[in-house]
Structure 1
Amino acid sequence: MDLDQALLRWLLDTDPALRWQVERDLADLPAEIWNVTRSRMATEGFGARLLGHQDPDGQWAGGAFFPKDFDFSGPEAADDAGQPWTATTWSLNTLRDWGLDASVLAGTADLLAANSRWEYEDRAYWGGEVDCCINAYTLANGAWLGADVSGIAQWFVDHRLADGGYNCEWVNGSTRSSFHSTLNGLKGLLSYETAAGADDSLRAARRAGEEYLLDRRLLRRLSDGEPVAPWVDHFAYPFRWFYSALKAVDYFREASLHDQTSPDPRLADAIAAIRAARRPDGTWLQERRHPGRVWFEIDVPPGEPSPWLTFYATRVLGWWDAS
Structure 2
Amino acid sequence: MDVLAWLRDSDPALRWQVERDLAGEPPEVWEATRARVATEGFGARLLSLQDADGQWAGGAFFPAGFRGDEPQPWTATTWTLNSLREWGLDAAALRGTAELLAENSRWEYENLPYWDGEVDCCINAWTLANGGWLGADVAGIAEWFVTHRLPDGGWNCEWVEGSTRSSVHSTLNSLKGLLAWETATGGTEAVREARLAGEEYLLERRLTRRLSTGEPIAPGLGEFSYPIRWHYDVLNAASYFRDADRPDPRLAEAIELIRAARQPDGTWLQTERHPGRVWFEVDVPPGEPSKWLTLFATRVLNWWDAR
Whether the TM-score (by the shorter chain) exceeds 0.5 is yes
Q: Which residue of 2 aligns with 1:20?
A: 16
Q: Does 1:265 align with 2:261?
A: no
Q: Which residue of 1 aligns with 2:117?
A: 128
Map 1:112-151 to 2 at 5 A: 112-151=101-140
Q: Deviations over 1:213-271 (max 9, x none)?
A: 00000011001111011132220001100011000000000001xxxxx5100000000
Q: Of residues 175, 191, 194 in structure 2, which corresponds to 1:202?
A: 191
Q: Which residue of 2 aligns with 1:50?
A: 46
Gaps of 5+ in 1: 77-81, 257-261
Q: Distance in 1 between matches of 2:266 and 2:222?
A: 17
Q: Which residue of 2 aligns with 1:91?
A: 80
TM-score by length of 1: 0.94
Q: Of residues 27, 38, 59 in structure 1, which corresponds to 2:55?
A: 59
How many percent identity over aligned positions?
Answer: 72
Q: Distance in 2 between matches of 1:101 and 1:283?
A: 29
Q: Of residues 19, 22, 29 in structure 1, which corresponds to 2:25?
A: 29
Q: Of residues 240, 261, 277 in structure 2, which corresponds to 1:251?
A: 240
Q: Deviations over 1:130-167 (max 9, x none)?
A: 00000000000000000000100010000000000000
Q: Does 1:276 align with 2:239?
A: no
Gaps of 5+ in 2: none
Q: Does 1:289 align with 2:273?
A: yes
Q: Which residue of 1 aligns with 2:143?
A: 154
Q: Distance in 2 between matches of 1:36 and 1:133?
A: 32
Q: Which residue of 2 aligns with 1:227?
A: 216
Q: Distance in 1 between matches of 2:134 and 2:23?
A: 29
Q: Distance in 2 between matches of 1:8 and 1:297?
A: 22
Q: Distance in 2 between matches of 1:144 and 1:29?
A: 25
| C-alpha contact (below 8 Å) 1:231/1:243 kept by paired residues | no
Q: Of residues 93, 97, 108 in structure 2, which corresponds to 1:104?
A: 93
Deviation at 1:97, TM superposition (A): 0.6
Q: Which residue of 2 aligns with 1:39?
A: 35
Q: Which runs of 4+ in 1 moved over 4 A?
A: none
TM-score by length of 2: 0.99
Q: Distance in 1 between matches of 2:108 and 2:235?
A: 31
Deviation at 1:319, TM superposition (A): 0.3
Deviation at 1:200, TM superposition (A): 1.8
Q: Which residue of 2 aligns with 1:183?
A: 172
Deviation at 1:71, TM superposition (A): 1.3
